[in-house]
Amino acid sequence: MTIRVKRLGYALGAEITGVDLAKPISDATIAEIRAAWLEHQVLVFPNADITAEQHIAFSCRFSELEVGLTKHYRESANPGIVRVTNRVVDGKPSISRNVGRTWHSDSAFALVPPMGSLLHCKELPEVGGDTLFANMYMAYERLSPGLRKLIAPLEVVNDRLAAPELHWIPPEQAARERIEWPPTVQPVVRVHPETGRKAIYCNETVTVKIHGMTPEESEGVLKYLYSHCVRPEFVYRHRWQLHDLVMWDNRCTMHLAPVDYDMSHVRDMSRTTLRGTPTGRVYDSSKEYLE
């Protein structure tokens, strides 16, 4: 089987047709899909009317699934699935209803950030509910040589508790989160382990400062990078259709789920997360200024 690849955006994004995700897929076709993924960073599989089990099976062709991260959002019946929904769950507002409202790379606070994710559309509002993706290769390559040289050795401190949706959790939960997910030090410029290309790897959701600097000293550089990374020419906006499956590469993209719809209307998604490779180290504030 030879898949059909249609570019969707100038910066990134491609539609994949000619494959039925509900049926067994050959190794050769998976290799074609992976090559397209590495080239286009975001793949859209339209009209993928698949079950949770088929979603998981397809995802596992690319990597082991990550089940430790975002465990609070996972389905009990299918622990490989994260539910991203504004539906009422067990009589309460869903805890995932407001995730992703600022630009981010998934779990950039982790020592083993995910390789990527596959998000499946179950139900949509009448209008809106889009997802925006930004090309971090392009963002890096469009910097001036002087700024690329400046940021090449820099690292940032990333903290899960800096994420806006966690600002209001009870202190006892925050203490548990801090033990399980301590802040980490990550490179500002990450080298993709498969393509060898360089990408900017810091974001407004969890990055708190440049390592070795104060937040005030870091602010100018980071604010510039945050705004530069999401220039319109680097961004693809996906307008969801029912049963779309969208697969993105977490190592070279950022994404954002804006509140561009009536929250009284249902937006219901299921996500699998692909386990990645280690990067960074645990942040030790006592040694920061001694290095």
Domains, the chain, ranges and CATH? 4-276 (3.60.130.10)
**pLDDT the model gives residue 18:** 97
Nearest residue to 84 (alpha-carbon basis) of 267, 274, 275, 273: 267
Phi, psi (5° rounding) for residue 175?
-65, -40
**pLDDT the model gives residue 10:** 98
Q: Is 236 exposed, middle or buried (0-12, 13-18, 19+ CB in 10 A)?
A: buried
Distances (CA, A) of 259 to 97, 101, 166, 277: 10, 7, 17, 32
Instruction: Give me the active site residues, please.
Output: 104, 106, 255, 271
Separation of alpha carbons 253 and 42, rounded Å: 8
Separation of alpha carbons 190 and 140, rounded Å: 10
Q: What is the DSSP letter of 41?
A: S
* DSSP string covering 207-264: EEEETTS-HHHHHHHHHHHHHHHT-GGGEEEE---TT-EEEEETTSEEEE----S-TT
Query: Strand 88-89 relative to strand 92-93: parallel, antiparallel, unpaired?
Result: antiparallel
CB 236 within 8 Å of CB 133: yes
**pLDDT the model gives residue 171:** 85
Separation of alpha carbons 206 and 234, rounded Å: 21
CB 56 within 8 Å of CB 80: yes
**pLDDT the model gives residue 49:** 96
With b for 16 or more beta-carbon neighbours within 10 A and e for fewer, the 211-226 pattern comes to bebeeeebeebbeebb
**pLDDT the model gives residue 228:** 98
**pLDDT tens digits, 229-261:** 999 999 999 999 999 999 999 999 999 999 999
What is the mean pLDDT of each successive set of 10 residues along the chain, which is 291 residues long?
93 98 97 98 97 97 86 66 86 82 96 97 96 98 98 97 85 87 97 98 98 96 98 98 98 97 94 96 85 57
